[in-house]
Amino acid sequence: MSIAAAIALAYAVSAHAGTWEPYTDGGFNAAMDRGRPVVLQFTAQGCGICADQERVITRILRQPEFKDFAGFSVDFDAFRPVVARWRVGGRSTLLLLRERQEIRRVAGIITESDILGFLKHAMPDKLRGRPKKRPSNRLEPRP
């Protein structure tokens, strides 16, 4: 495969996938400014649960339905101001944000089904698989 073909393939894949990267204020703010759903994973070196979470999250974010998501791995010890801002009590905590607001928070989940369910809280109802509201069968009194 030529270098040009490899670059084109990488671009095509990344255009249909969410992002995952180490936390930076600039990256986080850029994602928030673009209105992207954001997942923050608070992690630390030697945290086995954190490593398992990251493997699962990165695999999920490669799926086309999560292409708008931005994910950041936040080093619990290195980014204490971020930990304090979001009032995170421990490693392996996941925060889900949309429009700079926390939607959901969990800690210690590692299965694909649990993480998938967690991330789907930031998706529009039509993509979450929720049934549409049905019209009421109640008869309204006539005026």
The 10s digit of each residue's pLDDT in 27-37 is 999 999 999 99
Any domain includes 135: no
Give the phi and the psi of residue 108 in degrees, each rounded to 5.
80, 5
Rounded CA gap, 139 and 136, in Å? 8
Any domain includes 1: no
Q: For the chain, what is the domain count? A: 1
Rounded CA gap, 58 and 72, in Å? 10
The domain containing residue 92 runs over which residues?
16-123
Mean pLDDT of 98-125: 91
How much is the pLDDT for 103?
A: 93
Supply the CATH number for residue 30's domain. Answer: 3.40.30.10
Any domain includes 10: no
Rounded CA gap, 64 and 134, in Å? 29
Task: Write down the residue that tokens 């990267």 correspond to.
Answer: 21
Quick one: pLDDT band at residue 1, thresholds 50, 70, 90?
A: low
Any domain includes 129: no
Report pLDDT digits (tens) over 61-74. 999 999 999 999 99
